[in-house]
């Protein structure tokens, strides 16, 4: 992809939101109005370009993030359409990691929903600049001003409405542009250009008030505008837009627009806003990296003249192309056939052909320059989160962190002859999705697959059949518990083996201590007197990590533990790395037995939206499931219950909720934290393992 567009005219954005807010519909309309597609695709009728998987079209939801590109007002806009369902949160996580800006789509009727908050937090983590598009303004119950209040209250954002709706619900016909001070009416035929006209008399008072508030807010951050404002001078709209863009890039404000994506109303102004307010690669701070030679922190400047650096943010298996690796280029240029360095793994790879993606369709390009989002074949060992760079200027970016799976099911092929084919399928799916795991349990001879929820695992099981031709049987969901300790202990690990010639000798003493919740594993070397040679210390740590994979109580992974190596001994002839690795593993297992281990259960953050008349029964049902309700809000349209609930008690809740609410309540949840399982329930879980 040659430098057709100057870097200041490139936008890398994501469309993010709660499920059913209208992300994919908005993306489809953007592509149509930008001339990228010539037919409007629909989610409901299964013709959406961005939802290209069969399952996405059948279910009417986005499962995997899809990349595309379009042009608007002499700008190139690279777009990633992300899923809204919490089970596919990894797709949002890795997309936001490589984007500069985002369009947050909100439902004008429902307002800010649970997953809206989740994606907002993810965008905060990666400092992604945002604008909000309040969608479905033509629906019954749509409320622009209530949604703005919810953005301020729930998302803690400083909003800056740059538009007001013209009409509402069934009479919604357009928008009022507060910056240009004009009304824009949209025709039912999307091919017709919107009509720009004077603001209707009935709106002039509120428009004057809102425009004054907008200019006051902008003046707080721009001295030139402040001077003109107080002097009563006319302020050019281009100057206001430039000031707003600076505020957006610095995360000072979030511009708010509105429309109806399904009817194509508000899409052209949304494209204008993406160009006007969201940053180019030059507007965001240079990405931090570690120079792997000097170990010092450096910054990779966004320039074609700089050494090449990129992040592999997604890996997929294409039925025709094989392994496709998606890259965001942060500096320099690459061409197909170039040899590059994977600095994460310390290996050299050779790029194959380069493609600009349009959902599942490809356009081959010869060059990818700074700011590009492209896919490449040929990177055999590169994984999600790996850094790719010029081998003469090796750098390492911070990788992408993904949440741990919370739910497991047993899976087996219906035909034993398909065992190997199922193994190959699972290997490819695990490579694609960092939140999907497959583990062979040698004690039960079962293969367990783990993911973020029931829908996630159901989709993966279907993919095994549809894409790899293997019919599988899936067991009942099992909670992915963890183990930890509650007491500090010292433990010894000694491995001595003598059989004729050279023997094996490794001897360690470690201290185990409980860590903070969600702190993971921490290893400290406190050997001071040379009791163990320095070259054997990493082997001890590796042995301890190995033992953490299977706990004392139920064989669950051990988390939130601090381990200190403080003493030991070695033999000048018989000691080896293998002996000390085994000794470290023995010590950890011995310590776990004495450190009062407990089970940790995943706790989910849930939100139930229901008509007020059903609240009493729903609250009673939640209480019976050990839920802790921490927030309730009521409104004319619907009431909201927010709670923390153990994952183990969520199975079957959806069908019960439908029954209690005559099918009118909705329910979403996401992982929140791990908490200690009550002792009585711990015994039940362990007994069920023995029984199973």
DSSP SS3 for 164: strand
Least trusted range by pLDDT, from 66-70, 269-273, 541-545: 66-70
Q: What is the pLDDT of residue 625?
A: 92
Q: What is the largest CA-CA distance in the chain?
A: 101
User: How many C-beta atoms lie closer than 10 Å to residue 38's C-beta?
Assistant: 7
- Does the structure show a pLDDT above 70 at 534? yes
Produce one character per residue of 543-574: b if its CB has 16 or more CB atoms within 10 Å, e if not: bbbebbebbbbbebbbbbbbbbbbbbebeeeb
Structure token digits, residue 451? 């993911």
CA 373 – CA 365 distance, rounded (Å): 12
Q: Is the pLDDT of residue 327 over 70?
A: yes
Q: Tens of pLDDT along 459-486?
A: 888 888 888 888 888 887 778 889 999 9
Q: For 382-398, what is the mean pLDDT?
A: 93
Strands 521-525 and 561-569, bridge-based pairing: parallel
Mean pLDDT to the nearest integer, 274-283: 95
Looking at the chain, the whole-number percentage of residues with pLDDT higher than 70 is 93
Q: What 3-state DSSP class applies to 532?
A: coil
The crossing angle, in degrees rounded to 10, of helices 223-231 and 237-249 is 140
Indicate whether 500 pLDDT > 90.
Answer: no
- Helix 454-468, helix 419-432: angle, nearest 10: 120
CA distances for 456 relative to 58, 397, 436, angstroms: 15, 29, 9
DSSP reduced 3-state for 30: helix
| Residue range 528-540: mean pLDDT, rounded | 90
Output the pLDDT for position 52: 45
pLDDT computed for residue 44 by the predictor: 47
CA-to-CA distance for 675 and 683, rounded, in angstroms? 16
Reported confidence tier of residue 443, pLDDT bands at 50, 70, 90: low
pLDDT, tens digit, for every residue of 196-244? 999 999 999 999 999 999 999 999 988 889 998 888 888 899 999 999 9
Q: Per-residue confidence at 61, pLDDT binned at 50, 70, 90?
A: low
Q: Once rounded to an integer, what is the mean pLDDT over residues 394-406?
A: 86
Radius of gyration of the chain (CA): 28
Q: Which has the higher per-residue pLDDT, 439 or 576? A: 576
Of the candidate ranges 47-56, 114-123, 383-392, 531-540, the one whose mean pLDDT is the lowest: 47-56
Q: Enumerate residues 6+ apart whose C-beta is below 8 A from 395.
A: 289, 290, 291, 292, 298, 300, 307, 309, 343, 387, 389
More confident residue, 298 or 636: 298
pLDDT of residue 272: 96
* pLDDT tens figures, 595-636: 999 999 999 888 888 888 888 999 999 999 999 999 888 876
Evaluate if residue 119 carries a pLDDT over 70: yes
Q: Mean of the pLDDT values across residues 528-539?
A: 89
The string of pLDDT tens digits covering residues 10-57 is 999 999 988 788 888 888 899 888 888 776 655 444 445 444 455 555
Reported as a pLDDT band with limits 50, 70 and 90, residue 1 is: very low
- Mean residue pLDDT of the chain comes to 87
**How does pLDDT run across 484-498, given as a tens digit for each residue?**
999 999 999 999 987
> Is residue 509 pLDDT above 70, yes or no?
yes
Q: Is the per-residue pLDDT at 673 higher than 50? A: yes
DSSP state of 514: E
Query: Residue 193 above 70 pLDDT?
Result: yes
**pLDDT value at residue 661:** 84
What pLDDT was estimated at residue 41? 53
Give the model's pLDDT for residue 60: 57
Q: How many of the other CB atoms lie within 10 Å of CB of 493? A: 26
pLDDT tier at 73, thresholds 50, 70, 90: very high
Range with lowest mean pLDDT among 129-133, 157-161, 438-442, 641-645: 438-442
pTM of the model: 0.76
Q: What is the pLDDT of residues 342-385, one digit of tens each?
A: 999 999 999 999 988 887 678 888 899 999 999 999 898 999 99
């Amino acid at each position: 992809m040659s430098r057709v567009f100057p870097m200041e005219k490139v936008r890398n954005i994501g469309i993010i939101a709660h499920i059913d807010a209208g992300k994919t519909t908005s993306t489809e309309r953007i592509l149509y109005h930008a001339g990228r597609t010539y037919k409007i695709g629909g989610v409901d009728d299964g013709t959406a370009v961005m939802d290209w998987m069969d399952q996405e079209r059948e279910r009417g939801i986005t499962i995997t993030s899809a990349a595309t590109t379009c042009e608007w007002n002499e700008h190139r806009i690279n777009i990633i359409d992300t899923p809204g369902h919490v089970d596919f949160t990894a797709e949002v996580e890795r997309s936001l990691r490589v984007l500069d800006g985002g369009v947050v789509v909100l439902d004008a009727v429902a307002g800010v929903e649970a997953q809206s908050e989740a994606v907002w937090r993810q965008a905060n983590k990666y400092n992604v600049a945002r604008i909000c598009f309040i969608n479905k303004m033509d629906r019954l119950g749509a409320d622009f001003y209530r949604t703005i209040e919810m953005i301020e209250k729930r998302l803690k954002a400083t909003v800056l409405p740059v538009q007001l709706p013209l009409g509402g619900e069934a009479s919604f016909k357009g928008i009022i542009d507060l910056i240009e001070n004009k009304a824009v009416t949209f025709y039912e035929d999307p091919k017709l250009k919107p009509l720009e006209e004077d603001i209707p008399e009935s709106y002039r008072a509120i428009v004057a008030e809102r425009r004054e508030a907008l200019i006051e807010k902008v003046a707080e951050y721009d001295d030139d505008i402040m001077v003109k404002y107080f002097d009563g001078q006319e302020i050019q709209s281009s100057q206001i837009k430039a000031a707003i863009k600076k505020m957006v890039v610095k995360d000072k404000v979030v511009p708010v627009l509105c429309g109806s994506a399904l009817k194509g109303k508000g899409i052209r102004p949304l494209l204008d806003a993406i160009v006007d307010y969201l940053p180019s690669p030059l507007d965001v701070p240079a990405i931090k990296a570690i120079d792997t030679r000097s170990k010092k922190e450096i910054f990779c400047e966004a320039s074609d003249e700089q050494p090449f650096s990129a992040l592999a943010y997604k890996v997929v298996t294409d039925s025709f192309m094989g392994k496709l690796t998606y890259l965001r280029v942060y500096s320099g240029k690459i061409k197909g056939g170039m040899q590059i360095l994977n600095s994460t793994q310390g290996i050299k790879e050779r790029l194959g052909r380069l493609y600009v993606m349009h959902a599942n369709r490809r356009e081959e390009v010869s060059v990818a320059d700074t700011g590009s989002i492209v896919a490449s074949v040929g990177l055999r060992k590169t994984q999600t989160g790996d850094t790719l760079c010029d081998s003469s200027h090796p750098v390492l970016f911070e990788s992408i962190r993904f949440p741990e799976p919370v739910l497991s099911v047993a899976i087996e092929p219906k035909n034993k002859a398909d065992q190997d084919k199922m193994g190959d399928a699972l290997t490819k799916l695990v490579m694609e999705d960092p939140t999907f795991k497959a583990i062979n349990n040698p004690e039960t001879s079962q293969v367990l697959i783990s993911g973020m929820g029931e829908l996630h695992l159901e989709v993966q099981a279907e993919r095994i059949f549809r894409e790899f031709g293997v019919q599988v049987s899936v067991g009942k969901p099992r909670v992915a518990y963890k183990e930890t300790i509650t007491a500090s202990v010292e433990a010894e690990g000694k491995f001595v083996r003598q059989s004729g010639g050279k023997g094996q000798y490794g001897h360690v003493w470690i201290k185990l201590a409980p860590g903070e919740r969600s702190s993971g594993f921490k290893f400290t070397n406190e050997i001071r007197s040379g009791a163990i040679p320095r070259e054997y210390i990493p082997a001890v740590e590796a042995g301890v990590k190995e033992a953490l994979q299977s706990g004392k109580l139920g064989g669950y992974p051990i988390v939130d533990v601090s381990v200190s190596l403080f003493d030991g001994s070695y033999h000048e002839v018989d000691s080896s790395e293998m002996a000390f690795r085994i000794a470290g593993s023995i010590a950890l297992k011995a310590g776990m037995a004495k450190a009062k281990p407990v089970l940790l259960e995943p706790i989910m953050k849930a939100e139930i939206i229901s008509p007020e008349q059903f609240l009493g029964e729903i609250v009673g049902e939640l209480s019976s499931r050990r839920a802790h309700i921490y927030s309730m809000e009521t409104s004319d349209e619907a009431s909201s219950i927010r709670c923390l609930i153990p994952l183990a008690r969520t199975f079957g809740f959806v069908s019960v909720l439908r029954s209690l609410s005559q099918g009118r309540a909705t329910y979403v949840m996401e992982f929140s934290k791990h908490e200690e399982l009550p002792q009585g329930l711990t015994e039940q879980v362990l007994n069920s393992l023995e029984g199973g």
